């Protein structure tokens, strides 16, 4: 039975990954800050689950993942999904606290988790790291500045990790979606539901399940196949700023 560890499993893409890997017979280690939400996800899954409430920005908490209880040690698949955006300010008007939160979560958090778990994968001679990047890491959009930079960093770190693992059987994939309807925009706009709704208005966005299916496909390839990068978008999108929208009532 494969052991899959997912960060940001309390919501959205991470939660959808938990469901699809549970359905395919894996056992799961689920991480996020909100323990209650994690509990809710675990309750609906028909597979053994170990919950680790943690903040990926806290290096000491994350390092504890290198010392999981014996029954849960031996992570086969790491899905580095925890991430967020804050605000859409032009860079000269950006909030430094927002920058720090995005950089600390999306880059440093991903690094801490990777550092805690990948040495074990190398030692055991098996493993797969899937990083959730973004279309935003390929194409910057106005106001996206620091968020886009963090996702460009995820792309670069995925490439660098694969290079540094060459000669080991550990695989590395980055899955980079465009617009996916989750709590992402609510978090970005700090609970402004109307503004969040407008992000997906008039188009059919990706669902978290669409992304989870791609992650699962990458992980379930034969051991000699490493899918390096997948860029996926809704049919109604062809770039960060190129979106086809049907006006409401139209």
Q: What is 67-107 written as a DSSP string?
A: G--GGG---SEEEE----------GGG--HHHHHHHIIIII
Residues in Cβ contact with 197 at an 8 Å cutoff, skipping those fewer than 6 apart? 185
Binds 37: which of ligand NDP, ligand 8X3, none (CB < 5-8 Å by kind): ligand NDP
Smallest gap from residue 222 Cβ to ligand NDP (A): 27
Footprint of ligand NDP on residues 26-65 (CB under 6 A)?
A: 32-34, 37, 55-57
Sole binder of ligand 8X3 in the list 17, 135, 157, 170 (CB under 6 A): 135
Mark out the alpha helices in the chain (DSSP H runs).
12-23, 35-43, 59-63, 96-102, 110-124, 145-164, 184-188, 193-199, 208-219
Our CB check for ligand 8X3 shows the closer of 109 and 144 to be 144
Residue 179 interacts with ligand 8X3 (CB under 6 A)? Answer: yes
Nearer to ligand 8X3, 131 or 240 (CB): 240
Mode of pairing for the β-strands spanning 237-239 and 242-243: antiparallel
Q: Is 161 among the residues that bind ligand NDP (CB under 6 A)?
A: no
Given the complex with ligand 8X3, which of 102 and 117 has the nearer CB atom?
Answer: 102
Site for ligand NDP in 3-22 (CB under 6 A): 7-8, 10-14
Binders of ligand 8X3 among residues 18 to 37 (CB under 6 A) are none
Among 145, 158, 174, 182, binds ligand NDP (CB under 6 A): 182
Task: Work out which of 9, 111, 130, 136 binds ligand 8X3, going by CB under 6 A.
Answer: 136
Give catalytic residue positions. Answer: 147
Residue 148 corresponds to which tokens in the numbers above?
């886009």
Q: Which of 22, 107, 118, 180 binds ligand NDP (CB under 6 A)?
A: 180
- 59-79 residues labelled b (16+ CB within 10 A) or e (exposed): bebbeebeebeeebeebbbbb
Residue 29 φ then ψ, to 5°: -110, 120
Q: Which H/E stretch holds residue 58?
A: none
C-alpha 193/C-alpha 199 separation (Å) is 10
Q: Segment 100-159, which members bind ligand NDP (CB under 6 A)? A: 105, 109, 132, 134
Task: Tell me the C-alpha to C-alpha distance, in Å, between residue 192 and each of 106, 153, 198.
Answer: 22, 28, 10
**Applying CB under 6 A, which residues contact ligand 8X3?**
134-136, 144, 178-179, 184, 240
- Residues of this chain that interact with ligand NDP (CB under 6 A) are 7-8, 10-14, 32-34, 37, 55-57, 81-84, 105, 109, 132, 134, 177, 179-180, 182-184, 187, 208
């Amino acid at each position: 039975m494969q052991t899959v560890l997912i960060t940001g499993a309390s919501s959205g893409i991470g939660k959808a990954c938990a469901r699809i890997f549970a359905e395919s017979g894996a056992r799961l280690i689920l991480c996020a800050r909100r323990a209650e939400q994690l509990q809710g996800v675990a309750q609906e899954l028909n597979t053994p689950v170990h919950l680790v409430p943690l903040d990926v920005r806290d290096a000491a908490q994350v390092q504890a993942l290198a010392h999981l209880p014996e029954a849960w040690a031996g992570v086969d698949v790491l899905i580095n999904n925890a991430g967020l955006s804050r605000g859409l300010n032009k860079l000269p008007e950006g909030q430094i606290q927002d920058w720090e939160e995005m950089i600390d979560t999306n880059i440093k958090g991903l690094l801490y988790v990777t550092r805690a778990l990948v040495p074990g994968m190398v030692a055991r001679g098996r493993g797969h790291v899937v990083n959730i990047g973004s279309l935003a890491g390929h194409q910057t959009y106005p106001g996206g500045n620091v968020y886009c930079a963090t996702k460009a960093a995820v792309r670069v770190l995925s490439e660098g990790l694969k290079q540094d693992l060459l000669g080991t059987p550990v695989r590395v994939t980055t899955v980079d979606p465009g617009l996916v309807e989750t709590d992402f925009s609510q978090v970005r706009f700090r609970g402004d539901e109307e503004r969040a709704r407008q992000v997906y208005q008039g188009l059919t966005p990706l669902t978290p399940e669409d992304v989870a299916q791609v992650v699962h496909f990458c992980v379930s390839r034969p051991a000699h196949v490493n899918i390096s990068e997948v860029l996926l978008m809704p049919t109604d999108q062809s770039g960060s700023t190129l979106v086809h929208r049907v006006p409401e009532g139209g």
